[in-house]
A and B are shown apart, each in its own frame.
Chain A
Amino acid sequence: MFSLIESFRSAISSVRAHGFRSFLTTLGIIIGVSSTIAVVSVVQGLSYSINQQFEGFGANSISIRSVTPRGERLKGKIARITSGDLIAIRKNSEGIEFITPQLRSNIGGTSPLTYKGNQSFAQVAGSTYSYQNVENLDIKYGRFISYGDNQTRRKVIVIGDKLREDLELPSNPVNEFINYAGEWLKIIGLTEKKGSFFGFNQDNIAILPYNTMQGLNGNLIQPDIFVHLQLKDINNLEAVKSRLTRILRKQHRLKAGGEDDFKIETPEQLTSGISNIIDTMTVVLGGIVSISLLVGGIGIMNIMLVSVTERTREIGICKAIGAKRHHILLQFLIEAIVLSLLGGIIGIILGYGLGMLAAAAIPGFPPANVPLWAVGIAFGFSAFVGILFGIIPAAKAANLDPIDALRYE
């Protein structure tokens, strides 16, 4: 068989002989591949960091939140997980390790936190000691809310670093008092910085004991609770889930056959929603940029056709001294493939750089992450483009008549 190496050698020498032209030819492929890689790397970086965020939830945890079915919402009813529900769950807590309720303040939405004349709004939640594990919070100074804080409704609060800055509290704010909804709360802890996520600052938070928050809300209001449960054994997931469903349906007095007005979710369900969006985004963006690869391929075909015409005489010489059709075909095809692969490689490197740059330029954005499959696809696709658009010029070269080709000036 004709040695492929010889074709490669000839292809590389001809690419080198027309350095600038080769570069311009591959520019389409370079742009196509680099934008694909840049987009994919940024999106994948996002998805990677989202998964990291949810990892703190742990695999053996589930969450309960209220969902108002569409029909009910039209009637003006809003479903809630109430403190009564929580008590019912507590009573039937076999197989459950921790119950972590999260109570958003009903007054907190409008009520600022104040300290020495400074005021700031933050995300205020009432919860228990296990909240620290669920949210992956580390404590920088002081301590987190304890079991006792909750039981005795102590007026204490743990704050995030952003809130501390906004209120111009000292760098160690423990033992200072801040005012929230008319109550003076003692700061017992400051959390470690977590940075921002999707543009949301995760340090603008304040956590107080669940029962304290309930006291602040007052007994007249039925607040909606988000409940987080840690299971003792993940294998009991289905059993626990069905028991909880039964309890909550009974609590909410739902008729048989009626829709649930709450949702019991596993962390996989939470993340899969987000990864679905990201996957769709990847496919759509990938589709758009692959059009530019197609355009790049047409550029390669154009130049290859020019190159065949330019080298008609050379082709004639090769045919005269014994080159068969497939020799010529292979030579030009490999040249097209080399061109587009070269574009692919440069594109991958450039795209990687662009992705890193984009991730670095947007503050708080997760670092770019280029998965191997994206590199593989970009590489394979550019080779495919080379074959697809190289075959016509190569066939044209292979089918030249040797006499006409030799006579060509």
Chain B
Amino acid sequence: MSLIRLENICKYYSMGDQTVKALDHIDLVISPNEYIAFIGSSGSGKSTMMNILGCLDKPTEGDYQLNNKSVSLLTQDELAEIRNIEIGFIFQSFNLLPRASALHNVMLPLVYQGIPLAKRKAMAMKVLEKVNLSDRTDHMPNQLSGGQRQRVAIARALVTSPSILLADEPTGNLDSQTTKDIMALFDQLHKEGQTIIMVTHEDEIARHCQRVVRLSDGRVVEDYQNQTDGRIESEVRANV
């Protein structure tokens, strides 16, 4: 069974007379509980890939099936619903709402589902505990360190129990120690069964993942399993 199935996905942008092929006939299958990294230099199409996978953008051509449902033909509002329920976004620059406390930031996706406040609060507190921030719930983003902010962002992504965690350069703005902490958190989430898709240009980060897909000029040039993969996968299997 596949979680994500991309068939012949193309994304073209027209820049004046020129047509830029950001994604060029991509076929890809991602299974549940995969830990996958898209790597590539800038302009390789990995950001476009992220936008398509995250239902922020629609492909010019091709079919994208998420949980065996085609999302290529959905309206903006239907895509918003998919983003809300199926996908948890984590951004390089954290992208927290500056005027809302950590708790309110985490509760926000639930607001769009119409969940009542008390339940919303309980769910948010639970994930904040999971990312070790239960003592920082009332802090505003500017009162938190980079690592803490990213953990709030991860909590916000997890609170709806999404099918996929989509992380776009999640450690790009963090120092090396914090990077280690955050990556450890991702590893742990993966062990617990979370599907994680990451976009990065750092091999160091990609090494944490089971599977690495290298993009170049909008095409898949490499798709391999990491060596450590076998060990991690067997551990996961053992846990399941």
Interface positions of A (Cβ within 8 A of B): 1-3, 5-6, 13-14, 17, 313-314, 316-327, 402-403, 406
Contact = CB atoms under 8 A, between A and B. Distances in A.
Contact of A318 (B51, B81, B108, B114): B108
B40 interface: no
Contact of A403 (B56, B95, B97, B117): B56
Contacts of B186: none
Contacts of A403: 51, 56-57
Contacts of B57: 403
B101 to A, nearest CB: 10
A316 B91 CA distance: 12
Given A322-B81, A323-B80, A403-B56, A317 B99 contact: no
B111 A317 contact: no
B83 interface: yes
**Is chain A's interface secondary structure helix, strand, loop, or mixed overall?**
helix
A1 B115 CA distance: 9
Contacts, number: 68
A323 B76 contact: no
Contact of A322 (B85, B95, B116): B85
16 contacts: A2-B112, A2-B114, A313-B95, A314-B98, A319-B56, A319-B80, A319-B83, A321-B108, A321-B109, A321-B112, A322-B85, A323-B80, A327-B112, A403-B56, A406-B56, A406-B91
A14 B95 contact: no
B149 to A, nearest CB: 13
Interface size range on B against A: 20 to 34
Contact of A6 (B54, B89, B111): B111
B5 interface: no
B151 interface: no
B114 A320 contact: no
Contacts of B157: 321
Contacts of B117: 3, 5
B156 A321 contact: yes
A403 B81 CA distance: 16
B65 interface: no
A1 B114 contact: yes
B95 A406 contact: yes
Contacts of B83: 319-322
A320 B54 contact: yes
A322 B162 CA distance: 12
- Among the interface residues B89, B156, B157, which one has the most CB atoms of the partner chain A within 10 A? B89
Interface in B76-122: 76-77, 80-81, 83-85, 89, 91, 95-100, 108-109, 111-114, 116-117
Nearest to A325: B77
Contacts of A1: 114
Contacts of B99: 13-14, 17
Contacts of A313: 95
A317 B99 CA distance: 13
Contacts of B76: 324-325
Interface string B194-233: 0000000000000000000000000000000000000000
A402 B109 contact: no
B114 A322 contact: no
A322 B84 contact: yes
A233 B80 CA distance: 76
A329 to B, nearest CB: 11
A322 B112 contact: yes
Contact of A323 (B51, B112, B156): B112
Contacts of B109: 321-322
Contacts of A321: 83-84, 89, 108-109, 112, 156-157
A317 B56 contact: no
A277 B193 CA distance: 80
A2 B100 CA distance: 18
- Among the interface residues B108, B114, B156, which one has the most CB atoms of the partner chain A within 10 A? B108
A161 B164 CA distance: 92
Contact of B89 (A320, A323, A326): A320
Nearest to B98: A314
